[in-house]
Amino acid sequence: MSFQTSTAKVDITPAPGANPYMAGYGTQGGARVVERDTPFAQPLYARCVILWDDGFPNAIVSLDILGIPRGVHQAVRPRLINLAGWASSDIVLVATHTHNGPIVGDMLNPYISYGISSLDLVDSYTKWLQDRIVAVVTQALAATRTSVSLEYRLTSANFSFNRAGKPTVETAVPVLTARRGNGTLAAVLFSYGCHPVSAGWQEQWDGDWPAEACNVVESQTGAFALFIPGAAGDQDPTGVRSWALRTSHGNALGNAVANSAKAAGRVLPGPLYTQLREVSLPLDITPTSANLAAVRSAFATRMQNPAGQPAWYQRHAASMITRIDSGTYATSVPNPSQVWKIVGNPTLKMAFVGGELVSGYAAYFRARHGGANELFIGGYANETNCYVPANDFLPPLGPSGGSYEGGWDPDMPGIAGGSMTVYPQIGHFRAGTSGVESAVITALAVQLA
């Protein structure tokens, strides 16, 4: 087998006067708006690496945004498929999950999360972004191809901690390199499981520590760098959030990746095999008339805000009542699950899961697939429709105080709370053998086999 690579990068920073609304999680006093005079600390980018396997392309696209809405993914994927003779599973889209990027589409719901009722600027930017995604893949397909060998190494980082108090903490930093015959690096793909929120909520566009790490890798190696998010759903950065912390974490990760990439790794001769499927994640909602009436009543109570919840809880409650009355509520959430396998001794398996995957899944699958030396696993891939919690985040196993990642609050455990108020859904996920954990594990286990 033989590999080649080609790359491209395009700017996706909103132009002055375009979409000014900054993404993040629910706000009390309306959306954050980007600073007019100095709109970005660093530009936001869409990056694309094509791995050509005996002449057949496979693309990974990384976007400096909070997440990829389902509508954007479903609209852009057919356009990408039409660009080359490839299967849908040969294309991976990931969001770096920066919280200082623009609001895109309905991720998160702009009215519920930020109180934005006029979406003209958001919609215009979203359509432009879709064109930019197609453009970066088009450019990468047409770019000069470089013959390379693919190599895999593993390094580590230690600025992540489990904010939910679980025992799993992400330290693994997978590094996949494309090396020319003369030993120089053409591309470096790397990952880490931690929320990119080291900068805190700012008023400038910025890709947070993943963007800084890419800059460090490129300056030290001369290669094209692309970040792929790990299982970061319950992982936060240590330290007091600031621009300085963002740079410190980016430098620490970038230096670790660059040092690892400079050394020879395990050669992966190929071929490369790909799979993509969609998994239905069940919500804990019984759609009977009696239960829906009780759920509606609970949301009506929440609109009066007896627990003193943030403003978006009330906006969410009003929206859910509208969905119940119109019969447009959902009882499950679709979630993409994608696997690439690059044959070697041993084979490298790369699992790309939609949504905010919690780290317990990474620990579970690494234990069954040769550890981080043989398995890369991460979230925020293709679509970000929800957190993807495990059973221990959900009632009755979840903590009595509720769970943000699990999407429920102790005062009203029968309706959505926590993260499910901003994504938004009518309730939290179902636990147990027929719930979200079982659905995720069953699907991915088949794909990784």
pLDDT tens by residue, 200-248 = 999 999 999 999 999 999 999 999 999 999 999 999 999 999 999 999 9
Q: For residues 24 and 73, which has the higher predicted lDDT (pLDDT)?
A: 73
pLDDT tens by residue, 389-424 = 999 999 988 888 899 999 999 989 999 999 999 999
Specify which residues 173 forms β-bridges with: 155
What b-and-e string marks burial along 210-234, b requiring 16 or more CB atoms within 10 Å of the CB? bbbbbbbbbebbebbbbbbbbbbbb
Residue 364 in contact with residue 314, Cβ under 8 Å? no
Distance CA 333, CA 317 (A): 19
Specify which residues 141 forms β-bridges with: none
* pLDDT value of residue 23: 94
* pLDDT value of residue 283: 98
pLDDT tens by residue, 129-162 = 999 999 999 999 999 999 999 999 999 999 999 9
* pLDDT value of residue 38: 85
Q: Can you tell me which residue has the tokens 């519920």?
A: 112
- Where residue 382 falls among pLDDT bands split at 50, 70, 90? very high
* pLDDT value of residue 332: 98
* SS3 state at 216: helix
Rounded (10°) angle between helices 70-81 and 120-142: 30
pLDDT tens by residue, 90-121 = 999 999 999 999 999 998 899 999 999 899 99
Q: Which amino acid is at 321?
A: I
* SS3 state at 393: helix
Q: Is pLDDT at 359 greater than 70 in this prediction?
A: yes
* pLDDT value of residue 440: 98
Percent of the chain with pLDDT over 90: 92
* pLDDT value of residue 41: 83
* pLDDT value of residue 24: 85
Give φ, ψ of 338 to 5 degrees: -130, 140
* pLDDT value of residue 40: 84
Burial of 118 (0-12, 13-18, 19+ CB in 10 A): exposed
What lies within 8 Å, CB to CB, of 82 at 6+ separation is none
- Where residue 26 falls among pLDDT bands split at 50, 70, 90? low
Task: Return the number of other C-beta atoms located less than 10 Å from residue 153's C-beta.
Answer: 20
Residue 279 in contact with residue 440, Cβ under 8 Å? yes
- Where residue 28 falls among pLDDT bands split at 50, 70, 90? low
CA atoms within 13 A on the CB side of 354: 24
* pLDDT value of residue 30: 77
Candidates 112, 98, 102, 105; CA nearest to 232 is 98
Residue 197 in contact with residue 101, Cβ under 8 Å? no
- Where residue 291 falls among pLDDT bands split at 50, 70, 90? very high
Task: At 378, list the tokens.
Answer: 């991460």
- Where residue 305 falls among pLDDT bands split at 50, 70, 90? very high
For residues 277-290, average pLDDT: 97
Distance CA 168, CA 232 (A): 11
What distance, in Å, lies between the first and last C-alpha atoms of the chain?
A: 22
